[in-house]
C-alpha cells in the first residue's frame, strides 16, 4: 500500500520540488496539494514542466481534511505557519515533516530570539527530531514530527560532522562562508532577487545575523559535546540553484591529508547521499544540481594548521525537498534512497 502524502505550500519552489520528486516515487500517492495563491488551478498550469506527470489541482488549505486523508503531510511554509497543521496532523495519529524553521530548535527561546515571533507549540519541540538523515537516522525512523534542516546548515554540518565526531578541531575557530543560488530566497517577488539586481552581481547579506546560524550552532555543538559559536556569512550568487560552502577550522593536532581523508571515509561509509570527493577533486554546484547528493572534500593546510572543507548541495533538493523525502522514507520503513536515487543534471 502506498503512503498517502499531502503538501501544504505546494506552489513555492521547495513545495514544487517535493511535488516533482513524489510524483515519480514508487511508494507514494500524492493525495493533496494545498496552495494559498493558486486554489482551484491545475498544478501543471502553475508549473508547466510537470504537465502529464501531475494531474492534481491545487486546493485551499483544509487542515482537518489533510489529517484525515494523508499518512504524512509536508509543510513548505514560512516560519510561524506550520504549528496549527502539525497539531491537527499529529493529533490524528499521522506524521509531519516541516520544511520551515518551526521545529528545528530544541529551545523555543532561541527560535523566538532569531525569528522574532513567539513559538505557539513549545511542547511539540520535545518530540520533534532534527531531520538531518546522516546524523539522526535512527531517531528519524521512529519520529512522527521532523524539522527538516535549512539549506545552509545542511551543507555546513555535513562538511564538519566527521571532524567534530572525532574532536579534531578547535570549536572556537569555525568560520563558514557560503554561496547560494537565488531560488533560496523563494518564489515571492522582491527587489533583491530581480534579474537586473542579481545578474552579474555577487554580494554578501545578513552578515553575522542570518537565522540559520543558531541552527548550525545547535547541531554542531551537539556533535562536539560543547556549546559553539561560529562565524557565518552567506552570499547571493547569480545562479538558479546550488549552495557551495567553504568552512575553515583550526586542527587540534598536526594531521596529514591522508589521515583526515580516512576520518571522512569512515564517517560517511554507509551514507549513500554524501559523496566524498577523491583527493585533488573539489565539489562544485553543477555536479549536484537536481540531485540529493552532498559532495564533500576536506583539504589540510599544513602551513596554517587549518582544515578547509568544501561542500556542495542543490538547495532545493538535499537542502529542502529531497532531504524531506529521505526523512519520509526512513519514517515509513522504506529504503532511504527510494525516489531519490538519480544523478543530477549537467550542464
Q: Which residues participate in catalysis according to the annotation?
A: 151
Q: What is the largest CA-CA distance in the chain?
A: 62
For residue 169, give the 3-state DSSP assignment: strand
In the sheet that holds 129-130, the strands lie side by side as 28-34, 3-8, 72-75, 95-98, 145-147, 129-130
Residues 6+ apart with CB under 8 A from 26: 338, 339
Q: Is 81 exposed, middle or buried (0-12, 13-18, 19+ CB in 10 A)?
A: middle
> What are the grid coordinates assigned to 167, written together?
574532536
Record the cell numbers describing residue 147, joined without a space: 524539522
| Burial classification of residue 106, based on how many CB atoms lie within 10 Å of its CB (0-12 exposed, 13-18 middle, 19 or more buried) | middle
| 123 contacts 160 by C-beta, under 8 angstroms | no
What does DSSP say about strands 203-204 and 28-34: parallel, antiparallel, or unpaired?
unpaired
One DSSP character per residue, 278-319 reads PTT----GGGTTTSS-EEEEEEEETTTTEEEEEEEE-TTIII
Amino acid at each position: 500500500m502506498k503512503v498517502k502524502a499531502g503538501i501544504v505550500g505546494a506552489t513555492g519552489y521547495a513545495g514544487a520540488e517535493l511535488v516533482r520528486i513524489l510524483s515519480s516515487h514508487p511508494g507514494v500517492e500524492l493525495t493533496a496539494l494545498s496552495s494559498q495563491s493558486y486554489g482551484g488551478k491545475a498544478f501543471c498550469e502553475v508549473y508547466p514542466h510537470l504537465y502529464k506527470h501531475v494531474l492534481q489541482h491545487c486546493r485551499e488549505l483544509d487542515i482537518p481534511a489533510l489529517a484525515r486523508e494523508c499518512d504524512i503531510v509536508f509543510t513548505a511554509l514560512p516560519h510561524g505557519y506550520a504549528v496549527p497543521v502539525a497539531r491537527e496532523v499529529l493529533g490524528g495519529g499521522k506524521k509531519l515533516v516541516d520544511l520551515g524553521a518551526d521545529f528545528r530548535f530544541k529551545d523555543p527561546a532561541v527560535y523566538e530570539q532569531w525569528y522574532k515571533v513567539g513559538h505557539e507549540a513549545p511542547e511539540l519541540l520535545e518530540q520533534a527530531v532534527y531531520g538531518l538523515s546522516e546524523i539522526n537516522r535512527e531517531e528519524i525512523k521512529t519520529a512522527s514530527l521532523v524539522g527538516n534542516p535549512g539549506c545552509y546548515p545542511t551543507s555546513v554540518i555535513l562538511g564538519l560532522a566527521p571532524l567534530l565526531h572525532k574532536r579534531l578541531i578547535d570549536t572556537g575557530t569555525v568560520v563558514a562562508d557560503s554561496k547560494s543560488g537565488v531560488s533560496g530566497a523563494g518564489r515571492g517577488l522582491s527587489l533583491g532577487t530581480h534579474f537586473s539586481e542579481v545578474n552579474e552581481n555577487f554580494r554578501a547579506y545578513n552578515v553575522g545575523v542570518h537565522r540559520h546560524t543558531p541552527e548550525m550552532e545547535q547541531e554542531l555543538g551537539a556533535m562536539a559535546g560543547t556549546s559553539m559559536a561560529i562565524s557565518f556569512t552567506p552570499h547571493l550568487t547569480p545562479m538558479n540553484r546550488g549552495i557551495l560552502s567553504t568552512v575553515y577550522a583550526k586542527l587540534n593536532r598536526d594531521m596529514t591529508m591522508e589521515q583526515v581523508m580516512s576520518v571522512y571515509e569512515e564517517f560517511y561509509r554507509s551514507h549513500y547521499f554524501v559523496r566524498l570527493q577523491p583527493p585533488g577533486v573539489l565539489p562544485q554546484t553543477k555536479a549536484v544540481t537536481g540531485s540529493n547528493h552532498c559532495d564533500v572534500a576536506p583539504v589540510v593546510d599544513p602551513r596554517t594548521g587549518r582544515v578547509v572543507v568544501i561542500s556542495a548541495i542543490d538547495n532545493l533538493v538535499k537542502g529542502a525537498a529531497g532531504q524531506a523525502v529521505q526523512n519520509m522514507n526512513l519514517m515509513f520503513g522504506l529504503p532511504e534512497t527510494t525516489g531519490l536515487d538519480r544523478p543530477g543534471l549537467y550542464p
